Structure 1
């Protein structure tokens, strides 16, 4: 600090001396040209003004004033080259020169300081604006803190460390202040929740002035505001996720309870009828009741399978067990699960002429086909047509399940693959179902790296198309 003041004094002294020498040389030149001493003394006055301006201190202007007074007396008053004055006019001239030089130098110095203060305030205002706006687009605790450290290095020229009280984290991870325990400067990071941490500067290249301290405090304040905002945002996101999870759970329970009621009632009725009137029923009636029982049990099995698959997707994601599967075998297995529900509908199957091996999780793709076929059966009248077509492309296998039903309702067209989409809710996966089938299909197909879309089937009906890559 002392060395810095000494360097500053030496610099001001050198500047003042240089201006004084230059003013003296110019005055000697003017005297050589025969210019009057009244004009020459103005050169020394200008020198005083320049000294006050370039040193930003009226003290050096006053020093230059006395030095100029002595120089003028020595070189330009009679008798010359002495400090003696014979003429009263010269004395009055020098007295007025001294007064004018001191006043004008002082005013110039003060004006210069006011200009410097205004420039510093303008710079500080611009810096504070950049700091306030610089935190707005940044998110994430680490990114916010690193942005604050970058501002300190950019606007103050110091490297700092941020310590967070709640987690004990220190940023940056490679701490600059290795081995140092007492910081040179500390600025608390405050927020609405209290003290969040501290900005610490361990090594300062020079003493910070008031502007830099103001900038550092502003960075700490804005850092606290940004971190507070980030915590509030994270809390809101957690609340939102919790509310969505609760809503999802409630919807699932409501849907399962609603859709289990009908098949369980049917099972109970058919079972009681068989138990109470078995001998009285004909073989045809017993066969019909057994068929109804089997159909309801199969529907319940598929419902439970969809719920389990949805749970796997939500909680841990799908874990695929890919193997090379022959697409004909996968299609045959899926058809065997739903053929009893076709009930007189015209069902067409088209498969590639040659054997096609596709890398897939066979069990999951069978579930996709079952869901798509059940969806087609559920939404078509008994006299409609359903088709399952498989086409081999260059890089993908394309599977199309089409029907000639009423098509996709306009209310659900954009939400067809979302969870719990049913016509009863204004949005559908089935007339009797909890709206998970198509959602599960989409998750399984995309997990395989494929795509699935729904489109209209000319002249009527719906086409559900999904692709699977032929190469793992």
Structure 2
């Protein structure tokens, strides 16, 4: 009811405005009649008709043009106060005035329509631009559907419905949609054709049915209710929105396909590289173990005790090497190709480092390792097994490639940032070229001077170390030291301690 009263009020106000304009023109002509000619009086009414044509609708301006001619004839054409016209030039002037008024009305109406259409086209172009920008950064089907529904709602005043061509079609149709409209949507997606008002198919309907996608790749369809039959620009705008949505869906699917292809390529590359490493680095220790075991089995009586001990030591060394390679391989696969969660707990990093160094010092490396631990270090949430493996790999690697006569420094301290803790391992080995500081953390990669040394390596240790650091939200980098050697820096975040709960502490005690 409020809308109806508002429309009535606006219409009445427009008619009153027309009467006011005609009254002002008549009064002004009465005032000027002693001083000007009939032609000048007619120009006053022409001015009023021009104003009415711009300010009022077409019917009101036409009525105003007719009333202007009649008022001019009645009040100012001799004989006055009648509609009779004695002189032919007055009749021609009145007719010409009516034709001019109607022409102005026609031109003004067309100009208004073109102005409205220009504003509408500008608005639609801006809407398409904004929609394209927002669709370019979407990452899910739900976001694309939401943006598409908003786009159609803004363009067609919430008279639209967007559906996807999936198995759950019926559950997404609201109850207000009729069975005929559901059938129209299904047929539209099946035939990949535009249906409905003003189209070549089902043109007698009152709605538009527009497919999203192309033949063979239909993604969905949109229903626009109560669509004007002659609104070709509106139909083109709806088709443009559907085209943008189809491109967004295709981009999303292309990204998924590309990611799948990349993952498959990485998997194939990993398998190929791993098989290559196995064929070279694992086959040799197995052959040594088999040879040593065969010698002990078949020629034990002929071998001296020293020779037997040397063969047994070879078997142990090669078995330890195979164990290290196997553990690194399994950890790398688990950390980089699965979504496994870490078994984190509140741990003391100095205890983990101490246990690792104690194990390594059992050999001949006790005098080579110097450890420095800062005081009052906080607890960290860690997987102790993984962190121990990370530190073991780094220390073993540093000992392996550094001079046996030079010591190894291990230090634990807080970083300059209060929420970070840093473990540093420094050696005096051959160093690593700056260009290879990142490549050494890639699986199965080995430096050229390492390959030329007598040390065996599959190239997994540092890759596993960085994967473990990343899984703990930390960072592992390497820097060269002045005077030679490398410095591996492991940075780990210091989490906030949980709030103290007296009741829980009392229960535990």
Give the distance between the partners of 1:164 and 1:399, measured in 2 at CA.
Answer: 54
| Secondary structure of 1:224 counterpart | helix
**Which of 433, 439, 446 lines up with 1:422 in the alignment?**
446
1:149 and 2:124 are equivalent in the alignment: no
Alignment RMSD, CA only?
4.0
User: What's the counterpart of residue 268 of structure 1?
Assistant: 290
Give the distance between the partners of 1:72 and 1:355, measured in 2 at CA.
Answer: 104
Give the distance between the partners of 1:37 and 1:49, measured in 2 at CA.
Answer: 19
1:391 and 2:415 are equivalent in the alignment: no
**2:212/2:221 contact within 8 Å kept:** yes
Deviation, structure 1 residue 296: 0.8
Give the distance between the partners of 1:30 and 1:169, measured in 2 at CA.
Answer: 75
Which 5+ residue runs of structure 1 have no aligned equivalent?
none
Give the distance between the partners of 1:437 and 1:447, measured in 2 at CA.
Answer: 15
Give the distance between the partners of 1:443 and 1:390, measured in 2 at CA.
Answer: 21
**2:356/2:391 contact within 8 Å kept:** no
- When residues 126 and 389 of structure 1 are mapped into structure 2, their CA distance, relative to the original with a 3 A threshold, is closer
**2:352/2:384 contact within 8 Å kept:** no
Give the distance between the partners of 1:309 and 1:216, measured in 2 at CA.
Answer: 53
**2:73/2:80 contact within 8 Å kept:** yes
Give the distance between the partners of 2:369 and 2:69, measured in 1 at CA.
Answer: 117
Stretch deviating more after TM superposition (155-164 or 404-413): 155-164
**1:422/1:430 contact within 8 Å kept:** no
| Secondary structure of 1:400 counterpart | strand
Deviation, structure 1 residue 441: 1.8
Give the distance between the partners of 1:97 and 1:395, measured in 2 at CA.
Answer: 88
**1:419/1:439 contact within 8 Å kept:** yes
- When residues 331 and 117 of structure 1 are mapped into structure 2, their CA distance, relative to the original with a 3 A threshold, is closer
User: What's the counterpart of residue 74 of structure 1?
Assistant: 74
**1:352/1:392 contact within 8 Å kept:** yes
TM-score, scaled relative to structure 1: 0.81
User: What's the counterpart of residue 52 of structure 1?
Assistant: 53
Stretch deviating more after TM superposition (102-111 or 228-237): 102-111
Deviation, structure 1 residue 353: 9.0
Aligned pairs for 1:8-407 within 5 A: 16-31=18-33, 33-55=34-56, 57=58, 61-158=61-158, 160-166=160-166, 168=168, 179-181=176-178, 185-191=208-214, 193-201=216-224, 209-313=231-335, 314-322=337-345, 324-325=347-348, 327-328=350-351, 331-333=354-356, 335-336=358-359, 339-340=362-363, 347-350=368-371, 352=373, 358-359=379-380, 360-381=382-403, 383-393=404-414, 398-407=422-431
User: What's the counterpart of residue 503 of structure 2?
Assistant: none
- When residues 170 and 467 of structure 1 are mapped into structure 2, their CA distance, relative to the original with a 3 A threshold, is farther
**1:74/1:83 contact within 8 Å kept:** yes
Q: Deviations over 1:242-287 (max 9, x none)?
A: 2112212222222223210111121122222222322222222211
Deviation, structure 1 residue 29: 3.0
Give the distance between the partners of 1:122 and 1:30, measured in 2 at CA.
Answer: 46
- When residues 270 and 450 of structure 1 are mapped into structure 2, their CA distance, relative to the original with a 3 A threshold, is same
Give the distance between the partners of 2:119 and 2:267, measured in 1 at CA.
Answer: 56
**2:374/2:413 contact within 8 Å kept:** no
State the aligned residue count.
460
- When residues 185 and 26 of structure 1 are mapped into structure 2, their CA distance, relative to the original with a 3 A threshold, is farther
User: What's the counterpart of residue 436 of structure 1?
Assistant: 460
- When residues 302 and 16 of structure 1 are mapped into structure 2, their CA distance, relative to the original with a 3 A threshold, is same
Give the distance between the partners of 2:388 and 2:460, measured in 1 at CA.
Answer: 16
TM-score, scaled relative to structure 2: 0.76
**2:374/2:412 contact within 8 Å kept:** no
**1:267/1:296 contact within 8 Å kept:** yes
- When residues 54 and 427 of structure 1 are mapped into structure 2, their CA distance, relative to the original with a 3 A threshold, is farther
- When residues 16 and 121 of structure 1 are mapped into structure 2, their CA distance, relative to the original with a 3 A threshold, is farther
Give the distance between the partners of 1:427 and 1:237, measured in 2 at CA.
Answer: 34
Give the distance between the partners of 1:91 and 1:147, measured in 2 at CA.
Answer: 63
| Secondary structure of 1:293 counterpart | helix
Q: Deviations over 1:169-210 (max 9, x none)?
A: 799x9x9x5544466554321246532112234689x99954
Which 5+ residue runs of structure 2 have no aligned equivalent?
182-206, 498-509
**1:330/1:362 contact within 8 Å kept:** no
Q: Deviations over 1:286-316 (max 9, x none)?
A: 1122111111111111111111212221213
Stretch deviating more after TM superposition (454-463 or 350-359): 350-359
**1:164/1:170 contact within 8 Å kept:** no
